[in-house]
Structure 1
Amino acid sequence: MKNKYIWEDPKTVYINKEKGHAIAMPFDSVDDALSGEQSKYKQSLNGKWKFFWQRGLDNQPDGFEKPGYDVSNWDEIS
């Protein structure tokens, strides 16, 4: 019997899904890695981010990628 929906096929596992991977976090020593503490190199990206949405690449704000660019009128996203 043919499956009615593609997600019912057990061979289909990667539709709109990232393939499995391992995250490697650096530590200064083996003892630090085995301590159970977080790596001092881990940086959270949680918080508020300034966000400017536009359709396509035409008419981008000049210099938006530079540190000091005024983004005070941009929206914020979490």
Structure 2
Amino acid sequence: MRHLAVDFGPRGVRVNAGAPGPVGTPTHARLDEEQKAARRRRMPLGRVARAAEIADIVPFLLSDSCATATGTTFDVNGGSHLS
């Protein structure tokens, strides 16, 4: 993201990303209960995200509220990257 932001910023283009963690999808549903519990234990929020929660970051990234953010990866993963 940072390199792209440097390359495209002079053209007025912002470059950001959302980095999801575990998401409640059919693939996640195939895990057994112990595997699911092990993932939740590594996450400070203790739960997997719904797909809609991950998608909700997109309007923010496109909004005026985020107009000066570029070169950033937003962790939308319940804190799973912290452990």
Measured against the shorter chain, the TM-score band is: under 0.3
How does the TM-score come out when normalised to structure 1? Answer: 0.21
Larger radius of gyration: 1
Greater share of residues in helix: 2
Query: Structure with the greater relative contact order (CA < 8 A, sep ≥ 6): 1 or 2?
Result: 2
How does the TM-score come out when normalised to structure 2? Answer: 0.21
